[in-house]
Each structure stands twice: as C-alpha cells, then as structure tokens.
C-alpha cells in the first residue's frame, strides 16, 4: 500500500488521495443506486485503518432533502442520474447534487450551446468523466479509465504519425480534451471538498475561484513558455523540461513518486513545441509596419521582418527590372503580411507557413505545415520571387490598382476551387507558365 502524496498530475485538484491504492468509499458505503453491499477494497493492507473521505461525514440538517432523495447516510457523489435522464443524465445528476431543479442546468447547457457550442463540449466532457449512477468508481475503475484514455491518446499519436498530419489533434480533440480535463478537475475539486455540508453560493464561488486561479496559473506558465520560446529562449525552456523529467525519474523510488511534476512539464513543453513547430520568432519587433520602397535599391538585403503584428510591403512604385528575378524576403512571427504588386509583374513564391495560410493572387493554401511553391516562366515581364517565412498567420500577395486597396481587404479563400493541392500548371497574366505545388 502506498502512502498519500499531494498533487497528482492525473488529479487536477492536487488533493491528497485519502487512500492511494484503495478507495475508502467502497469500503464504507454502497454505491447509490447500485444496491451492492459495501466491500473492503482488496488492496487495503491488513491492519491498516481505512481512511474516510470527507464527504462521508455525518450529514447536517440542510442535507435532509438530498438525503431523502438519495438515501440516508449515503455519501454525496456526483453521478449522472438515471431517473432524471433526458439524454445522458448530466443535468439530472447536477440538479440532484446541488439540490437544484435540473431544468436550470438544461437551460444552461442549451444556452452555452447556442452561444458558440461550448455547451455541447461541456456536456460531452461530463458524459465522459462523470460516472453513471451505480457505476464502478473504485481505484480499479479509475485506473481503467486512465488506461483507456492513455490507449486512445497513443492511438491518436500513432494515427497522426502514420498520416503525418496534425489535423485530427488540433481539430476537435484538443478543445474537447481541455474541457474534459477542466470538467474533471472541477468535479474532483467539488467531490474532494464536499464534506457533507450544503453547497452554498459562497462555497461554490470559492471552488470556482480556486479553479479559476489554478487555470490562470497554468495559462500563465504556458504563456510564459511560448513567449520565452518566441523570444529565443526555447533551448532554456527545453532544458527545464528535461530537468523536470529527470526529477520525475529520480522521484520514482518514492511510493508514488512526484507525478504532479508531469503537469508543469507539459504546460511548458506543449507551447514550446507549438511555437517551435510554427517557427514563430519575435525577432523584428511588434506592431504595424508599412513599407513603400521607391526602387529596387530600397529593398533591404535581408528582407522585411516583424515579430508580431501587421506587415504591409507596397511594391507598386518599384520599377522591377524586366526579364530578371527580384527576390523579396519576408519573415513574420505572428500576424498578417501583405505584399502589393503591380499587375504587370509575374510573382512567384516559396513560402512556408507554420499555421495559417498564404494567398497569391487568389490562389491559396492553408492549414498547418504549409509549403506553398509557385514557379513560373516569364518572357519580358519582370519577375518577383517572394520568399515568405510565416509562423502563425497569413501572407497575401495582391495586385491592386491604386486607390482600390484599403489596407484591410482580404481575398475570399473560397475562390481556389481545390486549386491548392497537387501540381498545377496554368497561364497567368504576366507569367507565361505557372506551376504550383502546395502541401499543408
């Protein structure tokens, strides 16, 4: 039998487990609705005194209503209701737990769904993490849940590696996982601190405040990691992640190690990885930059750079040499970049976008890991090669007559008609032959 340790990465509340290898609840009370007799957890050592969860404390008077509904002496426990079930019993379970009419929660879920779809995710997360009434919540049951979750995530990893495409991960799964984790954390926080006393507004506000504070701290850590990486200190953050991993390995000789260290390590590593993969760099400063060179000689040799913000390079005044190629380098960490060119210029590009899209005169490609390559032949027309390196954001290369560009216009990305993928050869204005290769 292991000893309780505070903070478990798999327990977002950081609460010490009353018993780490045996849930005392199963040893003291039957499951509401299950009708099974209490059982001693099988891995409780002989002679050990089973710990009692706070929520097994004697009920106070205001709990009478709940007790009457759930059975006298039954510990408070958030479960999905079977009797008050419309879909999954989530609202019914919440209503019973907080002694509030479930309709209130149903309206809340519906409103959150209409206001951006959050309600659906929250409901699905509750379906996933809140146990059904009468379901097994023993340590073996929780371990099974973790094992299944781990297997699912590993399967996703394998699929993503085989497909070499991150879309699945950054699609619906990440918000679902975050919401699920938050929901589970709130559930554990509420369950762990519910000592049988009635849930008052002030107590609920305290829990919400605690959860919000923890989320804020996690966000601050992740934001600091991303910012430091974009500022060029990613190697230091990576070294810290490795050091935390070393501490975890070193702690493995303790009964439960220091598993909670995995959480800060991931909070540092994930944003570091995203910024690194997108190749975001804040080198070049922040804000709105607008350049309007008058000649080729005015073009900076190392190109234009901006860390984050909006970059506009207007080349319509530049008389590009006919029959020759002029190179324009652009590097943008995060934001949008626009290049304005004359209609009589053949524009080609070799652009990489970590996350976002690139648009060349209405042809575009978007997503993650976008490589957009356009080659062309020209006869006498001037040719401009735009070499873009965009971290997160967009690059648009536009030919607009004077007076028609308001500095905010965006192309309609639907005009490409599947033109982005695969190699394509077309005729295009000043370019006599255009080849497009795109991946993303």
Partner 1 sequence: MRERIDIASLVAGLVIIALGTLLLLDRVDVLDLRFGWLVPALAGTIGAILLAGGLANRSP
Site string for partner 1, 351-370 (x = CB under 8 A): ---xx------------xx-
* Contact code string over 186-225 relative to partner 1, x by CB under 8 A: ----------------------------------------
Tell how far CA 401 is from the center of its chain: 41
| Residue 99 to residue 90: CA distance in whole angstroms | 14
Decide if residue 404 touches partner 1 (CB under 8 A).
no
CB of 69 to partner 1, least distance (A): 32
Q: Sort strands 363-377 and 346-360 into parallel, antiparallel or unpaired.
A: antiparallel
Six token digits for residue 114: 């209409």
Task: Closer to partner 1 by CB, 75 or 271: give it.
Answer: 271
Return the SS3 of 378.
Answer: coil
Q: Which residue lies nearer to partner 1 by CB, 110 or 373?
A: 373
Tell which one of 212, 249, 327, 426 touches partner 1 (CB under 8 A): 249
Query: How many residues form the binding site for partner 1 (CB under 8 A)?
Result: 73
- Closest approach, Cβ 7 to partner 1, in A, equals 12
Smallest distance from partner 1 to CB 167, Å: 9
Residues 31 and 25: their CA atoms lie apart, in Å, by 9
Strand partners, 394: 336, 357
For partner 1, the binding residue among 258, 315, 348, 386 (CB under 8 A) is 258
Q: 350: burial class by Cβ within 10 Å (0-12, 13-18, 19+)? A: middle
Single out the residue of 63, 118, 119 nearest to residue 96, CA to CA: 63
**Of 92 and 333, which has the nearer Cβ to partner 1?**
333
Total residues found in the chain within this entry: 440
Binding mask 126-155 for partner 1 (x = CB under 8 A): -------------xx-xxxxxxxxxxxxxx
Is-contact 102 95, C-beta < 8 A? yes
Residue from 75, 257, 382, 391 touching partner 1 (CB under 8 A): that is 257
From residue 257, give the alpha-carbon distance in Å to each of 48, 214, 245, 252, 261: 21, 22, 12, 5, 9
Q: Which is nearer to partner 1, 41 or 91 (CB)?
A: 41
- For 440, other C-beta atoms within 10 Å of its C-beta total 21
Quick one: 164 or 202, whose CB is closer to partner 1?
Answer: 164
Which of 247, 286, 387, 287 shows the shortest CA–CA distance to 331? 387
For 399-426, letters b (16+ CB in 10 Å) and e give bbeeeebeeeeebeeeebeeebeeeeee
Residue 248: CB minimum distance to partner 1, A: 3
User: How crowded is residue 277: how many other Cβ atoms within 10 Å of its Cβ?
Assistant: 14
Under the binding rule (CB under 8 A), the answer on residue 170 touching partner 1 is yes
Instruction: Please list every residue from 50 through 109 that binds partner 1, using CB under 8 A.
Output: none
What whole-number distance in Å separates Cα of residue 365 and Cα of residue 397? 13
Q: How far apart are CA 50 and CA 248, in angstroms?
A: 28
Which of 220, 239, 327, 426 contacts partner 1 by CB under 8 A?
A: 239
Question: Which residue's CB is nearer to partner 1, number 278 or number 374?
Answer: 278
* C-beta of 210 vs 270, nearer to partner 1: 270
Q: Which is nearer to partner 1, 146 or 205 (CB)?
A: 146
In the complex, minimum distance from the CB of residue 152 to partner 1, in angstroms, rounded to a whole number: 7
Binding residue (CB under 8 A) for partner 1 from 19, 94, 186, 265: 265
Distance, in Å, from the CA atom of 226 to the CA atom of 63, rounded to the nearest integer, reads 47
Residues 267-296 that bind partner 1 (CB under 8 A): 269-270, 272-274, 276-278
| From candidates 110, 176, 238, 296, binder to partner 1 by CB under 8 A | 238
Q: Which tokens is 432 given? A: 């006599």
Q: Which of 175, 198, 245, 429 binds partner 1 (CB under 8 A)?
A: 245
**What residues from 299 to 358 belong to the interface with partner 1 (CB under 8 A)?**
354-355
CA-CA distances (angstroms) from residue 263 to 16, 170, 206? 16, 20, 23
396 strand-pairing partners: 338, 359
Scan residues 29-58 and list those touching partner 1 (CB under 8 A).
Answer: 43
Is residue 110 a contact residue for partner 1 (CB under 8 A)?
no
User: Considering only 50-58, 85-93, 257-265, 295-303, which stretch makes contact with partner 1 by CB under 8 A?
Assistant: 257-265
- Please state the closest distance from residue 308 (CB atom) to partner 1, in A: 19
Shortest distance (Å) from residue 237 CB to partner 1: 8
Beta bridge partners of 416: none
Q: Which residues pair with 366 in a beta bridge?
A: 357
CA atoms within 13 A on the CB side of 11: 23
Among 215, 221, 266, 296, binds partner 1 (CB under 8 A): 266
């Amino acid at each position: 039998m292991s000893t309780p340790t505070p903070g478990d990465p798999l327990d977002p509340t950081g609460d010490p487990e009353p018993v780490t290898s045996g849930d005392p609840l199963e040893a003291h009370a039957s499951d509401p609705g299950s009708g099974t007799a209490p059982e001693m957890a099988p891995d409780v050592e002989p002679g050990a005194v089973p710990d009692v969860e706070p929520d097994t404390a004697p009920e106070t008077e205001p709990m009478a209503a709940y007790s009457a509904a759930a059975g006298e002496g039954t510990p408070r426990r958030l479960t999905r209701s079977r009797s008050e079930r419309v879909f999954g019993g989530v609202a019914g379970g919440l209503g019973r737990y907080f002694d509030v009419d479930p309709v209130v929660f149903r309206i809340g879920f519906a409103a959150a769904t209409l206001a951006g779809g959050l309600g659906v995710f929250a409901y699905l997360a509750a379906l996933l993490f809140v146990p059904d009434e009468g379901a097994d919540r023993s340590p073996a049951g929780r371990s099974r849940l973790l094992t299944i979750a781990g297997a699912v995530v590993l399967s996703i990893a394998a699929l993503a590696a085989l497909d070499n495409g991150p879309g699945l991960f950054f699609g619906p799964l990440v918000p679902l996982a975050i919401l699920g984790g938050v929901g589970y954390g709130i559930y554990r926080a509420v369950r762990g601190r519910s000592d049988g006393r009635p849930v008052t507004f002030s107590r609920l506000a305290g829990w919400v405040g605690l959860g919000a504070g923890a989320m804020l701290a996690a966000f601050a850590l992740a934001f600091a990691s991303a910012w430091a990486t974009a500022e060029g200190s990613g190697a230091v953050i990576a070294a810290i992640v490795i050091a935390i991993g070393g501490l975890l390995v070193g702690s493995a000789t303790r009964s439960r190690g220091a598993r909670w260290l995995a959480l800060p390590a991931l909070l540092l590593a994930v944003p570091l990885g995203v910024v690194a993969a997108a190749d975001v760099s804040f080198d070049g400063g922040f804000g709105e930059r607008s350049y309007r060179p008058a000649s080729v000689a005015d073009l900076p040799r190392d190109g234009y750079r901006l860390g984050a913000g909006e970059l506009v390079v207007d080349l319509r005044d530049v008389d590009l040499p006919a029959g020759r190629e002029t190179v324009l380098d652009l590097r943008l960490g995060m934001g949008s970049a626009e290049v304005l060119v004359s209609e009589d210029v053949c524009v080609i590009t070799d652009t990489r976008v970590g996350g976002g899209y690139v648009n060349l005169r209405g042809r575009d490609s978007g997503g993650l890991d976008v490589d957009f390559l356009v080659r062309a032949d020209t006869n006498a027309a001037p040719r401009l090669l735009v070499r873009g390196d965009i971290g997160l954001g967009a690059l648009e290369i536009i030919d607009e007559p004077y007076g028609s560009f308001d500095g905010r216009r965006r192309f309609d990305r639907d005009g490409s008609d599947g033109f982005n993928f695969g190699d394509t050869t077309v005729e295009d204005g000043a370019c006599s032959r255009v080849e497009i290769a795109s991946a993303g």
